[in-house]
Amino acid sequence: MDHRREIALDIDRKKLDNIEDNDPLNGYIMQPNPTLDQLQVFLAVTESGSFSGAARALNRAQSVVSYAIANLEEQLGLALFDRTVTKRPQLTPAGKSVLEDARRLLGDLDVMRARVRALNEGLEGELSVAISSIMPSGIVVEALSAFRSHFPTVSLNVTVGTLGTVVDAVISGKAVIGFGGMMADSPDQIRFERIGHTAMVPVAAPDHPLAKLGRPLSPADVRDETQLIVYDASGLTRGRNFNVFSLKTWRVSDNATKHLFIRGSLGWGGLPVSLVQEDIASGRLVALHFPAFNQPEYPIYAIGNVATPPGPAARWLSVEVRAKFAEGAA
């Protein structure tokens, strides 16, 4: 610590030795480590530009503010303010660095307080959601963006799956709420509420034999071509096929892989319109005219479990997703 700093601290100590019994500093005990209160005082001084301004903002005596800063500087072993330049305290380079840390710590404290307040009011601390990969991406992003703004203290745990994976997550309790298609053989405690719909379209790469036919396709046309299919990792639909027309199939775990393979001309298959509309518009994929595949409307449901009723955040999200479908987001 430099000589000027030692003098400044010595002056502060002499002032404290002379405080009267009714001085607000009486009983003020120096803590071994910096406290949140000291950081709040430090932040108030920097924001107001003076010790007197901080005292007014905090409704404290100026001597208390000065003492808190002196203690903080001594505990840190750093001069946070240069008092020799002007009458108004100026942050030292070290002070500027500490200020960033103080703001972050106090910001974290505000977040914690908000979360505790929300928990006391019954709001979920964390929400687990299962989302089908057939969900329009625009709706998912817009709804979750609104959710983040509305519930900044709620942590979100999102599982993305296909076919029975979403329902299985709700059945097992891994997700409080799910968004996807209906499973006809689901347990009685599972509830489905229709909130919108999407569409599936059969597609192939431009150089694929089916894309080159240039006419409506029949089941005979696709029988010997490799069809890409997403399998159900949950096992809820084991033994059942949906819209399978080809004798040769490749099974993949998700629509993203299926999309990649179809674009690579490894086969043909059905994908959500929202996933391939840009590819079709740009010519990277061709929408196949295949009447037998006809699936213009694929219902989407909010899926819940009677055994684990949703809390305020989950209910809000369900309403928001329904609203986004109604608005026609894609």
The CATH number assigned to the domain with range 3-118 reads 1.10.10.10
Q: How many CB atoms lie within 10 A of CB 312?
A: 15
Report which secondary-structure segment, H or E, holds 115: helix 93-120
Residue 111 scores a pLDDT above 80: no
HEC-encoded secondary structure of 47-111: HHCCHHHHHHHHCCCHHHHHHHHHHHHHHHCCCCEECCCCCCCEECHHHHHHHHHHHHHHHHHHH
Q: Does domain 200-296 have CATH number 3.40.50.2020?
A: no
Residue 19 scores a pLDDT above 50: no
Residues 146-176: tens digit of each pLDDT: 999 999 888 999 999 887 889 989 988 899 9
Which part of the chain has CATH 3.40.190.290?
A: 200-296
pLDDT at res. 290: 92
Average pLDDT, the chain: 83
Q: Following CA atoms 252, 258, 263, 267 in sequence, which dihedral angle do they give, to the nearest 10 degrees?
A: 50
The structure tokens listed for 313 are 């955040």
Residue 45 scores a pLDDT above 70: yes
Q: Of 87, 95, 81, 93, whose CA–CA distance to 5 is shortest?
A: 81
Q: Of 192, 205, 182, 190, whose CA–CA distance to 287 is shortest?
A: 205
* Distance of alpha carbon 10 from alpha carbon 127, whole angstroms: 55
The mean pLDDT value for 214-243 works out to 82
> 4-13, 29-38, 165-174: which has the minimum mean pLDDT?
4-13
The CATH number assigned to the domain with range 127-197+299-327 reads 3.40.190.10
Q: Of 87, 252, 280, whose CA–CA distance to 162 is shortest?
A: 252
> Residue 37: CB partners within 8 Å, gap ≥ 6?
68
Which part of the chain has CATH 1.10.10.10?
A: 3-118
Residue 277 scores a pLDDT above 70: yes
